[in-house]
Amino acid sequence: MTSTIVNHNNGRVFAYVRCSAKDQNEARQMIAMEEAGVPSKNIFVEKQSGKDFNRPVYQRLIKKLKPADVIVIKSIDRLGRNYTEIQEQWRLITNVKDADIIVLDMPLLNTTNNEQDLTGKFISGLVLQILSYVAEVERENIHQRQMEGIAAARARGVRFGKEAMPLPDNFEEVRMKYLNKEISCRTAAKMLGVAHSTFLKWMKQKDEELLS
């Protein structure tokens, strides 16, 4: 594996190592990169969420890429979490930059492969689309299960959200002073010990009760 990666097309070999939080350890990924033969000086390490690609270390790596270079990652989720954006970055790296990607944990995601007259880029792109579809279906299933769980809980009488703040004992007195223009909204809120937006919300709710 080492010679295959390092000598591919005489391009440079880089590795991208990412952890989601500063307290996570990247040791497992680093060991994998060393075993794959990636020069230690070419390993880019970043401790940041994979929710998008606005990551300084990753962007710096992308700018360095030249045709025939290779990026090695341990698993596809180290590249990112959003599969739609992953596909966009995959096209940027392989088509625009004309570089290659190797995902160690998934040999099919290796654009340096070329078997049976089908390029590695085509095979890898197809696999990535399938993964994206599976990920999207799973997200929809999770959302559906969450909605069904919430509906079932509500049917059992479970209440969600913050408990409504009870009206202070002096609310009616303050309310009447406000309606009679004896005090301002902010003064009324201060007398009740709440934000003026809360006071206005209470006023609206009281008006709705009186009209109902």
Q: Which residues of the chain have pLDDT under 50?
A: 1-4, 116-118
Domain chopping of the chain, boundaries: 2-136, 171-211
Q: What is the predicted pLDDT for the residue at 114?
A: 58
Spatial distance between the Cα atoms of 21 and 27, rounded to a whole number of angstroms: 14
pLDDT tens column, 134-175: 666 666 777 787 887 887 877 877 766 666 678 888 999 999
Does domain 2-136 fall into CATH 3.40.50.1390?
Answer: yes
Q: What is the predicted pLDDT for the residue at 1?
A: 43
